[in-house]
Structure 1
Amino acid sequence: MDLNSRSILITGGTGSLGKALTNHILTNYPNIERLVIYSRDEQKQFQMAQDYPQSKYPQIRFFIGDVRDKERLIRAFKGVDMVIHAAAMKHVPIAEYNPDECIKTNIVGAQNVIHASLETNVQNVVALSTDKACAPINLYGATKLTSDKLFVAANNIKGDNPIRFSVVRYGNVMGSNGSVIPFFLNKRKEGILPITDTNMTRFNISLQGGVDMVMHALDLAWGGELFVPKIPSYKILDVAEAIGPECEKPVVGIRPGEKVHEEMITASDSFYTYDLGKYYAIIPATLSWDLNEFIKTFKAEKVQEGFSYSSGENTEWETVETLRNLIKEHVDPEFKV
């Protein structure tokens, strides 16, 4: 896929993944016509603008706005070819305490992105999801599941508009804001790493892995697919051992809305799930394209009925040693035990 001479907008563009996408796009497609960073935090935009000065990156634009504001989105989307929807309220305990705010951003915001895309000339929309949207037990996960459903169903209401909507779902992004590894790296200074549950596991993906998924969906989605990567899991105890082997590790109990293990595909999803090699794709129940042609094009193989994909039952695992190497590579180049 050649993005040169195209225009892309990233909602939540000042977040961890938004910045990684920005770096990837500007590095690989220097002749992109326009890259719009859309977010509501002026301080983060100011800081990001220092890294991408207008004199060196004339194609980048910073656009203050909230996904809750449909009119602002419509204005921002004019002249944009592709939208990557990364804006969300994502902290589980904060969402539990402020449910209205989470719903306004994650559900109403998703609907606004869809409507603004349909009312302008956007050709392709990729929305970011989370493993917490799979069989959700917390409000954040429930709002992201609703968002996923809205983006998949948007392909049914587009009429003869050639726009495509798709979703990418993945696990914990290594080193992203608020995630466990930066948290533990900071807490290590105190000599204490609080463990929520000794059995807890999580999926693990690098920022670049997340970027690669988004680019895959932009390039190859037919509309309505929910892409899931094949990625390793880690045990929270191994993360703690990798970062602070000498630290105390008291068990403090799981937080409101947390799971011991995360899922990305449930047994109920297996009826619509296909193995594409590097990724799985959960396809919509109502298709706007030929399934046989899809299978042929991507050499897709239907998963077995009852198949599920859980961080606790994964076949691929990070070890203490691989985690240390990944932390040094992706999070803190100066890291050492």
Structure 2
Amino acid sequence: MDYKKRLGLLVTADSLIVVFSIFIGFWLLVPTSTILPEAIIVSSIALFFAHHVFAHLFKLYKRVWQYASIQELSAIFAAVSLSITAVALIQIIGYQTIFARTLLVTWMLHILLIGASRFSWRIYRDSLMKGNTEKKRTLIIGAGNGGTLVARQLMNSIKSELHPVAFIDDDFTKQNLEIMSIPVLGRTKDIEDVVVTKNIEHIIIAIPSLTKTELNTIFDACSKTKVRTQIMPSVEDIMSGKVTVSQIRDVQVEDLLGREPVELDTEKIGAKLTGKTVLVTGAGGSIGSEICRQVCAFNPDKLILLGHGENSIYSIDMELKVTFPHLSVETEIADVQDADRMKDVMNEHQPDVVYHAAAHKHVPLMEKNPHEAVKNNVIGTKNTAEAAHEAGVTTFVMVSTDKAVNPTSVMGATKRIAEMVVQHMDRISDTRFVAVRFGNVLGSRGSVIPLFKKQIEAGGPVTVTDPKMTRYFMTIPEASRLVLQAGSLAEGGEVFVLDMGEPVKIVDLAKNLIRLSGFRDDEIEIMYSGMRPGEKLFEELLGKDEVHDEQIYPMIYRGKTPPVDVDVVYDLIEDFEQFPITTLREYTLDLAHFRLTKAKQLSLVK
């Protein structure tokens, strides 16, 4: 029904209700009267016009009544009460009296009939939904604002496949109560029992304020039921318009692992990026592409996407041009190992800020290919840093790793040597050079999570190297935020480290993914394959001599790294190609650990 037909129907119905109400009011009080007094006619006309005026003011003709709630009821009460008040004033002026009892009966009938005419639409709609037996019986975890928001959305949506039948909430004051006619049947510990007794087919976790620890506890209880468990979007995403409440999603491993995210100092970051030219190397990678997305939020004057792989650069370029059409985004296909090309790019674009995310990062592969690790991680960093220095870049931020601390792998050693290059450049340049270390990134290319998922899809086994192996974890957006924040805090020469909380056992990560995939731990085998070359049982973010106790920003520390013998570093860069694999591996590890004496260096070269 279009708006004009709907408006005509409502105005006609309201007009009949107004006349009916006041005439019935007089008839109930003066049943033997056969002649309508003049007061009835005048009062009826007054109520007719007053009602339509106040109905318009309170938008009774513009509300969607199938979603009617307390707010709509309040609007009806106000419009009717003011209409009756207007009639009373006219009776005082015209007749020096108020037919109080008649107006009281009229007021009650008026509210009853207007309310019934409106709420009958919602009652009819709700009855249709209740009659739909195909909807899945749904348990909502959380009877607060988030839970009631989800329940209302599900109850108001004919298209939804879910029907809420019960709440779970740990607030003892809500136990045994009902919210929107949905009972609160227990606490987290009662989830299994409620699922059985209420024949639950679906679970939604609807507490946006949950910490990681609390979410883990609730998900553990839900996973024991083998019922599909989902989670509502964050309040921030709903309010910003990114998603709606109905866009409930599956619980992801990112929700269960890691720690609470660091809040950005957006004012400080904006001062560094807004209106500036920003260049990102490795812009097509997991970290580089996310850095680009977050940089765009600060409205730079120009963003340059630099990478070696044309397909990945094309993908992020197309994405950013759709998401941020007002921004100037340019692409450069270039290899950081090509010093002349890097200088040309820097001189052409004259960036204010450079985020250097291009690197080889796969530990076992770099053990087999140490020459490539040196070329990309060390020489590539040197080329990019020197080009940034010559172009007069203000700030250069290198993306590093926790594997650079006490490295046992070629990858970690080359990243530590790259940090040495950056620290040396800071001493000889007006550009502020810094490095940022963080742990493993959830869902990045080559990470363990995609591997585990494929193994689970194949029915197992899931291969874990060692039951004691632990790693620090963070999400890709969080890692990228740290890089931006570090750039805003840079004074030059620092190695910034994020306090990542407690490390996570890889076997626990595997178990979480098994449960998230709808299996019990005993349904998918976990097999221990042994540590691979270059790996260690646990990672560190700072060596014991590198730690500054005070935080320079919430959850961010500044490391103090030992002085660098840059001559030894540059000797490696000059001579690495002549080394056999085993010798180069030893050379890089010794250099990263500051164990490379001149005598040993000469013996290795020979």
With the length of structure 2 as denominator, give the TM-score of the two structures.
Answer: 0.45
Q: Compute the displacement of 1:273 (Å).
A: 5.9
Q: Compute the displacement of 1:49 (Å).
A: 2.8
SS in 2 for 1:63: strand
**1:56-95 correspondence runs (5 A):** 56=325, 58-78=327-347, 79-95=350-366
- 1:242 has 2:519 as partner: no
Q: Compute the displacement of 1:285 (Å).
A: 5.1
Q: Compute the displacement of 1:260 (Å).
A: 0.7
Runs of 4 or more, structure 1, over 2 Å off, are: 46-50, 52-58, 272-277, 283-286
Q: Is the 8 A contact 1:152 1:284 kept in 2?
A: no
Counterpart for residue 449 of structure 2: 181
Deviation per residue, 1:221-251 (Å, 9 max, x gap): 1101101111132111111110113311111
Relative to structure 1, the CA distance from residue 108 to residue 13 in structure 2 (aligned partners, 3 Å threshold; closer, same or farther) is same
Counterpart for residue 303 of structure 2: 35
- 1:124 has 2:395 as partner: yes
Q: Distance in 1 between matches of 2:326 and 2:364?
A: 38
Q: Distance in 1 between matches of 2:326 and 2:367?
A: 40
- Which of 1 and 2 has greater Rg? 2
Deviation per residue, 1:177-208 (Å, 9 max, x gap): 11112221222111221010000100011112
**1:1-337 correspondence runs (5 A):** 1-2=269-270, 3-26=273-296, 28-30=297-299, 32-53=300-321, 56=325, 58-78=327-347, 79-158=350-429, 161=430, 163-192=431-460, 193-232=462-501, 233-244=503-514, 245=521, 246-270=523-547, 274-276=550-552, 277-284=554-561
Q: Distance in 1 between matches of 2:472 and 2:331?
A: 32
Q: Gaps spanning 5+ residues in structure 2: where?
A: 1-268, 515-520, 564-606
Q: Distance in 2 between matches of 1:146 and 1:274?
A: 26
Relative to structure 1, the CA distance from residue 130 to residue 105 in structure 2 (aligned partners, 3 Å threshold; closer, same or farther) is same
Q: Is the 8 A contact 1:198 1:237 kept in 2?
A: yes
Residue type of the partner of 2:456? R
Identity %: 33
Residue correspondences, number: 280
Q: Compute the displacement of 1:58 (Å).
A: 4.6
Q: Distance in 1 between matches of 2:292 and 2:298?
A: 10
Q: Compute the displacement of 1:48 (Å).
A: 2.4
Q: Quick check: 7-16 or 202-211, which moved more?
A: 202-211
Q: Is the 8 A contact 2:367 2:411 kept in 1?
A: yes
Q: Distance in 2 between matches of 1:50 and 1:216?
A: 26
Deviation per residue, 1:302-322 (Å, 9 max, x gap): xxxxxxxxxxxxxxxxxxxxx
Q: Distance in 2 between matches of 1:115 and 1:100?
A: 21
Q: Compute the displacement of 1:274 (Å).
A: 4.4
Counterpart for residue 289 of structure 1: none
SS in 2 for 1:217: helix
Relative to structure 1, the CA distance from residue 215 to residue 52 in structure 2 (aligned partners, 3 Å threshold; closer, same or farther) is closer
Residue type of the partner of 1:239? L
With the length of structure 1 as denominator, give the TM-score of the two structures.
Answer: 0.79
Relative to structure 1, the CA distance from residue 142 to residue 284 in structure 2 (aligned partners, 3 Å threshold; closer, same or farther) is closer
Relative to structure 1, the CA distance from residue 152 to residue 75 in structure 2 (aligned partners, 3 Å threshold; closer, same or farther) is same
Q: Distance in 2 between matches of 1:141 and 1:187?
A: 27
From the two aligned structures, give the one with the greater helix fraction: 2
Residue type of the partner of 1:184? F
Q: Distance in 2 between matches of 1:172 and 1:231?
A: 10
Counterpart for residue 307 of structure 1: none
Q: Is the 8 A contact 2:305 2:317 kept in 1?
A: no
Q: Distance in 2 between matches of 1:275 and 1:53?
A: 37
Q: Compute the displacement of 1:25 (Å).
A: 1.6
Q: Distance in 1 between matches of 2:543 and 2:274?
A: 38
Q: Compute the displacement of 1:119 (Å).
A: 0.8
Residue type of the partner of 1:266? G
- Alpha carbon RMSD of aligned pairs, Å? 1.7
Relative to structure 1, the CA distance from residue 133 to residue 285 in structure 2 (aligned partners, 3 Å threshold; closer, same or farther) is closer
Residue type of the partner of 1:283? K
Q: Distance in 2 between matches of 1:258 and 1:266?
A: 17
Counterpart for residue 314 of structure 1: none
Structure of higher RCO (CA pairs closer than 8 Å, 6+ residues apart): 1
Q: Distance in 2 between matches of 1:137 and 1:273?
A: 26
Q: Compute the displacement of 1:269 (Å).
A: 2.0
Residue type of the partner of 2:381? A
Q: Distance in 2 between matches of 1:209 and 1:273?
A: 22
Q: Distance in 1 between matches of 2:549 and 2:283?
A: 30
Q: Distance in 2 between matches of 1:57 and 1:21?
A: 18
